[in-house]
């Protein structure tokens, strides 16, 4: 007679042949879950200090110097184990740890972006209307505009004055700082607004930021509220209105990163696309010790606007840097690049139970199922993707499985539902093997984005084992 608890042939076969992914919360020991939770503490601090690409570079450099990294010296012959960083125009940074093998055996590269959707001030931003002072903005990156109204905002960036001096601005982050916001109509008077199409519910030119309301005490001039604001700004930063022309000021959500959920299993914060991969790829390179291959983390700018511009990965700053490094050893840059491998470290859209229709659940990524390896992105017929080869996916898959990295596959929504891209295609253009690897996110590009602590930790592990391989 068959014993009751003996597994049937079908059960055994099913275990052997069929895919069976479990929630990371079931797969990880309590000890490892604690590690994941602890890792998120540093991550949240980073998010609070690095709300713009410039601030992310400053934080990355600080953390790198604490870890023994030094500024890159062009033409220097580095030894195995040497650690250095190169900053591109204050908005992107390349961190390198030299490996034991020669450079033409390839670099292990992780590429994440540190720019996030936000409201940029226009170059003539300040105006007064109906005795209120406001800033005109131009939104940066893909946003649902209505989400950015009535959210407390802080103002970050730099102003280059007429005298050439660069002033750093950060208002709204300290507890007693003032904040700013885009106003919205009360529902009582929104009958006409609610008839607009959702894309136009709040229009681009309606994303005006309220910054003041008290007039300068004087009877002789008009625009007294504007003058009062300008007088405050002049006192604080020594600027005049024309100085806005040579400024980069970014309005971002003011709130700090917080734990989400009674179980504190998630992180709710602004800018997690893609600082969640930036932080994990940064931590991985900082902890990378005497690797076989030379390892690099590049934290880049301008991904959200298409990677164009001299701080985006569609520019030549990365291949130029690698070429400079290669020449010192008598090597040709493109030979080093062609032998290299890259994890394009960017987030993926997690399944949202409230909006399941846009994802195909057999192939979409889920919160807590680990870091996502996405073979291809793009839209329509895979337009605008690099589509990692089966060979490279196979290699990355083995690497993760052998090193207990909990991972899943993902795609950017159902076929023909929309789509998007990452920096992977620009890396692939250089003739490098590349695959998207990153953290699943809920409410991507909203002022408040959601990630899971297990997935964050697994992203860190994924980049770490890639560097160690």
The contact set with Mn ion (CB under 5 A) reads: 273-274, 346
**Judged by CB, which is closer to Mn ion: 250, or 346?**
346
Task: Tell me how crowded residue 397 is: count the other CB atoms within 10 A of its CB.
Answer: 16
Residue 445 C-beta: closest distance to Mn ion, Å: 6
Structure tokens at 296: 């690099």
Residues 6 or more apart whose CB falls under 8 angstroms from that of 293 comprise 99, 101, 105, 106, 107, 108, 469
Q: Least distance from C-beta 86 to Mn ion, angstroms?
A: 22
Residue 358 · residue 372 · CB < 8 Å: no
| Beta pairing, strands 371-374 & 433-438 | antiparallel
Residue nearest to Mn ion (CB): 274
**Coil, strand or helix: which one is 204?**
helix
Q: How far apart are CA 202 and CA 196, in angstroms?
A: 9
Q: Which is nearer to Mn ion, 88 or 443 (CB)?
A: 443
Judge whether 115 and 301 are in contact, CB under 8 Å.
Answer: yes
**Whole-angstrom distance, CA of residue 122 vs CA of residue 427:** 31
Reference 126, options 241, 29, 219; nearest CA is 241
Nearer to Mn ion, 81 or 420 (CB): 420
CB of residue 142 to Mn ion, shortest distance in Å: 7
Which of 273, 301 has the CB closer to Mn ion?
273
- Shortest distance in whole angstroms from residue 441 CB to Mn ion: 9
Residue closer to Mn ion (CB basis): 283 or 346: 346
To the nearest whole angstrom, how small is the minimum distance from the Cβ of residue 302 to Mn ion?
Answer: 11
Q: Which is nearer to Mn ion, 152 or 306 (CB)?
A: 306
* Closer of 274 and 283 to Mn ion (Cβ): 274
CB of 1 to Mn ion, least distance (A): 59
Vertex 219: Cα angle to 217 and 221 (nearest 5): 95
Three-state secondary structure along 319-375? HHHHHHHHHCCCCCHHHHHHCCEEEECCCEEECCCCCHHHCCCCCCECCCCCEEEEC
Distances in whole angstroms, Cα of residue 145 to Cα of each of 184, 206, 303, 379? 11, 9, 19, 22
With tokens 């009582």, the residue in question is: 188
CB of 322 to Mn ion, least distance (A): 23
Closer residue to Mn ion, CB minimum distance, 283 or 436:
436
In angstroms, what is the minimal distance from the CB of 420 to Mn ion?
7
Q: How many residues does the chain have?
A: 469
Residue that is written with structure tokens 């003739």 in the block? 431
């Amino acid at each position: 007679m068959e014993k009751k608890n003996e597994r049937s042939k079908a059960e055994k076969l099913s275990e052997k042949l069929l895919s069976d992914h479990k929630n990371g919360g079931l797969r990880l020991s309590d000890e490892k879950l604690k590690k994941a939770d602890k890792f998120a503490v540093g991550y949240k601090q980073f998010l609070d200090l690095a709300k713009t690409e410039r601030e992310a570079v400053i934080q990355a450099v600080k953390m790198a110097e604490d870890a023994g990294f030094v500024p890159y010296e062009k033409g220097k012959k580095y030894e195995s184990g040497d650690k250095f960083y190169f900053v591109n125009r204050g908005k992107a940074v390349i961190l390198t740890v030299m490996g034991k093998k020669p450079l033409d055996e390839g670099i292990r590269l992780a590429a994440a972006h540190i720019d996030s959707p936000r409201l940029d001030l226009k170059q003539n931003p300040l105006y007064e209307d109906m005795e209120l002072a406001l800033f005109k903005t131009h939104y940066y990156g893909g946003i649902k505009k209505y989400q950015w109204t009535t959210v407390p905002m802080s103002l970050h960036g730099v102003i280059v004055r007429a005298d050439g001096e660069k002033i750093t601005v950060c208002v709204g982050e300290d507890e007693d700082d003032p904040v700013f916001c885009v106003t919205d109509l009360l529902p009582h008077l929104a009958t006409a607004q609610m008839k607009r199409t959702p894309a136009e519910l709040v229009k681009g030119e309606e994303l005006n930021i309220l910054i003041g309301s008290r007039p300068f005490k004087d009877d002789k001039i008009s625009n007294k509220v504007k003058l009062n604001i300008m007088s405050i700004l002049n006192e604080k930063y020594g600027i005049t209105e024309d100085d806005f022309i040579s400024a980069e000021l970014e309005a971002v959500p003011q709130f700090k990163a917080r734990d989400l959920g009674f179980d504190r299993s998630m992180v709710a914060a602004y800018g997690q696309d893609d600082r969640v991969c930036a932080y994990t790829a940064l931590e991985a390179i900082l902890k990378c010790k005497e690797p076989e291959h030379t390892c690099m983390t590049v934290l880049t700018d301008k991904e959200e606007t298409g990677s164009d511009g001299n701080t985006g990965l569609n520019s030549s700053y990365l291949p130029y840097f690698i070429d400079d490094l290669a020449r010192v050893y008598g090597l040709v840059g493109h030979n080093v690049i062609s032998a290299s491998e890259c994890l394009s470290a960017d987030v993926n859209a997690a399944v949202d139970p409230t909006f399941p229709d846009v994802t195909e659940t057999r192939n979409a990524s889920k919160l807590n199922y680990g870091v996502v390896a996405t073979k291809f992105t793009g839209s329509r017929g895979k337009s605008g993707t690099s589509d990692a080869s089966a060979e490279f996916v196979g290699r990355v898959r083995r690497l993760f499985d052998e090193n207990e990295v909990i991972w899943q596959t993902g795609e950017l929504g159902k076929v023909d539902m929309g789509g998007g891209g990452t920096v992977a295609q620009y890396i692939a253009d250089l003739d490098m093997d590349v695959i998207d690897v990153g953290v699943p996110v809920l409410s991507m590009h909203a002022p408040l984005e959601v990630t899971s602590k297990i997935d964050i930790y697994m992203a860190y592990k994924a980049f770490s084992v890639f560097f160690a391989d």
